[in-house]
Structure 1
Amino acid sequence: MSRFAVIIPAAGQSTRFGGQQKKPFLPLAGRPIWLRTVELFVTRPDVEQVMLVISPDDREEFQRRFGPNLIFLDIDLVDGGAERFESVANALAKLRDAVTHVAVHDAVRPGATAELIDAVFRRAEQTGGAIPALPVADTLKRVDGDLRITGTVPRQGLWQAQTPQAFRRDWLCDAYARRHTIAEAITDDAQLVEACGHAVSVVSGLVTNFKITTKTDLDLAELLHRATHDLPTEPKPGRPFDDESY
């Protein structure tokens, strides 16, 4: 059986979201978004290690508020870097020996399901690398700096990438070791692995597996979570470490 490590980057500045708190630490149905996301992975029998990557500036407050969560859920806390790729590289340096595959999942993408994760992990085992994605349904326009349309982009064969993105350990570690030698601008882990000569497969993603980028996204995530979970108005007794104020 393959053993997966899951890296969850949460060290970004949340500049597009605004507000005083960073997105991963905002409440979603009474629990922090990062915790909702982590809970997708911590009880899986094929997950050997879960790593949450945060800014060093957040570590003291995070440990104070959520230290018991880290112990209870066996989560490794990793200091992030100035950019996302540096944060993931820091986590890769701390992989446990038993890990055979590595998945990277956005901390603010709590809408994945066990079935979707199953599909991505199994496909990564079969092919070496896999991501969830959705075929582009809307017409795409290319626009210039003055917001004038300069062309229409054919959407045939275009898919919108999601996470978790999962790969063989050696593929991803090698790709990160070589990332500074790659000339093209890299926007996700799959592109980095592809640039190193490996083919990455796609499985069908979910509309609900969207990334929370704006306050509207958070409102939608709240509605979806309450619609798909039998949640009380208050946290259940016995579920430790809920923090509705963060």
Structure 2
Amino acid sequence: MPTPVADHWAIVPAAGIGARMGAAYPKQYLPLAGRPVLLHTLDRLLISPRVAGLVLALREDDPYWPTLGYAPDKPLLIVTGGDSRAASVLAGLEHLAGHTAPYTPVLVHDAVRPLLHPADIERLCDEPLDADGCLLATPLTDTVKRADAAGRITQTVPRDGLWTVQTPQRFRLDVLRAALSDALAAGREPTDEAQAMEHAGYRPRLVAGRRDNVKITVPQDLPLGECLLAAQAGEGV
């Protein structure tokens, strides 16, 4: 089997404050199995043989990052993020554009998805990369209800064809950079990179990922994350 080529760069937007967590400091710095969530996330990306390096977007004067002493073996570039996810990712893309080719594949990954499995990275990176790009997601299996302002059900939504989006989301640097720049210039705030691409007329492809690629968002996600980490360790991850 040929040796995988490190032809991708990762971008991790980590400038948010994580208000929904209700913690004293941003959720990406909360402890998970004895280490900050963010360091688990960075490790999962940087150990991949497909990843050449990583751009980390932090808020200006972030007081937590300098205390971690994180020193990976691969290039880690730090940029100042923006007031939104889209602005932070765009800052990372702008910086990366000065270091690599325009058509470089980029993997944009949530700072608080520390359980990304190596098999998912391989599956995503093995997909043919056209201008539309691709992203990890899982088919929706729960029943979905639409509610009114009072919290009462107004509709049961058919779940056929519905997916829950994950990260990484994988695009060509030049195409994603243009899509995000155009979206922000038009006053739109895409909630993820795929939405910016959709607004630009592209149709990103969904790639089935593992369900343990959870996002740490609310307090109960931390003990869940620790259980999943232990389970993955049992698999040799």
Q: Common fold, TM-score beyond 0.5?
A: yes
The residue aligned with 2:220 is 216
The residue aligned with 2:78 is 77
What secondary structure sits across from 2:138 in the alignment? strand
The residue aligned with 2:25 is 21
The residue aligned with 1:94 is 95
CA deviations 1:55-83 (Å, max 9, x no partner) are 1131x4422x12x3146553111111111
Give the superposition deviation at 1:215.
1.2
CA deviations 1:103-156 (Å, max 9, x no partner) are 110011011111101111222526741111111111111101111111111111
Query: Is 1:147 aligned to 2:151, yes or no?
Result: yes
Which segment is superposed worse, 38-47 or 187-196?
38-47
Measured in 1, the distance between the counterparts of 2:110 and 2:44 equals 12
Query: Is 1:159 aligned to 2:163, yes or no?
Result: yes
Measured in 1, the distance between the counterparts of 2:225 and 2:197 equals 30
Measured in 1, the distance between the counterparts of 2:230 and 2:50 equals 28
What secondary structure sits across from 1:164 in the alignment? strand
The residue aligned with 1:191 is 195
The residue aligned with 1:243 is none
The residue aligned with 2:65 is 62
After TM superposition, list the pairs within 5 Å mapping 1:3-22 onto structure 2.
Answer: 3-22=7-26
Measured in 2, the distance between the counterparts of 1:124 and 1:109 equals 24
Give the superposition deviation at 1:228.
2.4
Give the superposition deviation at 1:43.
2.9
Query: Is 1:52 aligned to 2:56, yes or no?
Result: yes
Give the superposition deviation at 1:25.
0.7
* 1:182–1:158 distance in 2 versus 1, CA, 3 Å: farther
Identity %: 38
* Alignment TM-score, normalising by the size of structure 2: 0.88
The residue aligned with 2:107 is 103
* 1:227–1:71 distance in 2 versus 1, CA, 3 Å: closer
| Matched AA of 1:174 | A
Aligned residue among 35, 46, 67 for 2:39: 35
Measured in 2, the distance between the counterparts of 1:185 and 1:51 equals 21
Q: RMSD in angstroms over aligned alpha carbons? A: 2.0
CA deviations 1:177-212 (Å, max 9, x no partner) are 211355766221011112212221111111100111
CA deviations 1:23-56 (Å, max 9, x no partner) are 1111111111111011112133332220111111
* 1:184–1:81 distance in 2 versus 1, CA, 3 Å: closer
Which segment is superposed worse, 190-199 or 40-49?
40-49
* 1:134–1:33 distance in 2 versus 1, CA, 3 Å: same
Unpaired runs of at least 5, structure 1: 231-246
What secondary structure sits across from 2:170 in the alignment? strand
Measured in 2, the distance between the counterparts of 1:75 and 1:22 equals 21
The residue aligned with 1:226 is 230
Unpaired runs of at least 5, structure 2: none
The residue aligned with 2:141 is 137
What secondary structure sits across from 1:199 in the alignment? coil
How many pairs were matched up? 227
Equivalent pair of 1:124/1:166 in contact (CA under 8 Å): no
